[in-house]
A = this chain, B = another copy of it.
Amino acid sequence: MDKDKKKKTIYDLAVLAEASPSAVSSVLNGTWEKRRISKKLAEKVMKIAENQGYNLNAQASLLRRDKSNIVGMIVPKYDNRYFGEIAEQFEAMARSKGMFPVVTCTQRDPELEFEAAKELVGYQVECLISTGATDPDRIAAFCKAAGVQALNLDLPGKDAPSVISDNYAGARDLTSLILRRCRSDLGWEGPLRFIGGRLSDHNTAARLDGFMDAHKELGLKVPNENIQASGYSAKAAWDSLKDFRPFGPTGIFVNSTISLEGVVRWHSQLSEGTENIRFGCFDRDPFGKFLPGNVGMVEQDVLQMLEVLFELIGQPNLENKVTLIPCNLEEF
């Protein structure tokens, strides 16, 4: 059975079944009724395949077929629940629709993003989803040249349809919540600080708009130095705050759970006044709720985003428009 290490092929099975390779192939890929193979032979072949531990060579099969059913996705990181859930749900949904998902993690590195995209196209993906990509348009252009559908998730692009969260509204609502809680809990009116992210990034820019508008609604001005979108790491957030010793009450809008790690570190190291600080975070983490001072988190609706995304997969001639998915704000 497994005497020799080589994989069984349909030719091996054909010999054993005393049938032709094409008959074996059609039995194994389920087209045997269409091809008028007798039930008797089909069962014989299937039994032999089972006994021999036959496994389809996907490379050979895909080479010949026109549809691959492979859907590719690139993701920046697995270091937060948001991208983790995206990857997990994407795989589950793809499988439930009979597709084969391939997800690869590109570390927020633009070159790696592009290289990985090329590799996935080489694997004949039918659709390539760029999640949170630095330069989605470069990937979209490459896909277009190769005749592969491109879609953007989380961060939008001009050259492919995009499905993203409504960052503006989510941030505006979160800002309003933090301001309200600052007033009710601390008797303090604002303005808040904005920590984390990068202004060149579409989502951070949209969130900052929401942040500013929520202040405007209350007639509040935000001084420039309150905006500290200095990057995506915990350390960057910590660096932004490390010399800040609040006189009295303070509120902070935290732009990601990674930034939150830095903020909480700063908060926990303050010698005094920690009870006079309120913050909220864009993106959710199950432990966030238990962090002292945290008044709420924005949960992006991953399921809904992916549902919309999967409706686009396989559709020809789509407009390159951006679909906004509302977020859920959880108050603590």
Contacts and interface: CB of A to CB of B under 8 A. Distances in A.
B59 A88 contact: no
A179 B60 CA distance: 59
A57 B63 contact: yes
B2 A124 contact: no
A78 to B, nearest CB: 3
Contact of A286 (B103, B144, B234): B234
A88 B105 contact: yes
Contacts of A79: 81, 84-85, 88
A118 interface: yes
A142 B55 CA distance: 10
Contacts of A264: 287, 290
Interface string A147-180: 1000000000000000000000000000000000
B122 A56 contact: yes
Identical copies in the complex: 2
In this complex, which of A2, A57, A122 has the most chain B Cβ atoms within 10 angstroms of its Cβ? Answer: A122
A239 to B, nearest CB: 16
Nearest to A86: B78
Nearest to A121: B55
A1 B145 CA distance: 8
A307 interface: no
B103 A103 contact: yes
A46 interface: no
Contact of A6 (B83, B121, B147): B147
Given A1-B145, A287-B285, A63 B59 contact: yes
A53 interface: yes
A157 B301 CA distance: 38
In this complex, which of A6, A79, A88, A260 has the most chain B Cβ atoms within 10 angstroms of its Cβ? Answer: A88
A65 to B, nearest CB: 10
Contacts of A6: 147
A62 B124 CA distance: 13
Contacts of A286: 234, 261
Given A85-B78, A91-B104, A55 B118 contact: yes
A59 B291 contact: no
A268 B124 CA distance: 50
A87 B105 contact: yes
A101 B104 contact: yes
Nearest to A261: B286
Leading 6 A-B pairs by shortest Cβ distance: A5-B147, A78-B84, A287-B287, A2-B145, A58-B122, A53-B145
Interface of A: 1-2, 5-7, 53, 55-60, 62-63, 77-79, 81, 83-85, 87-88, 91-92, 95, 100-105, 107, 112, 118-119, 121-124, 142, 144-147, 234, 260-261, 264, 268, 285-292
16 contacts: A2-B144, A7-B146, A53-B146, A55-B146, A58-B59, A60-B63, A63-B63, A78-B78, A78-B85, A78-B88, A79-B88, A87-B105, A103-B104, A287-B287, A287-B288, A290-B292
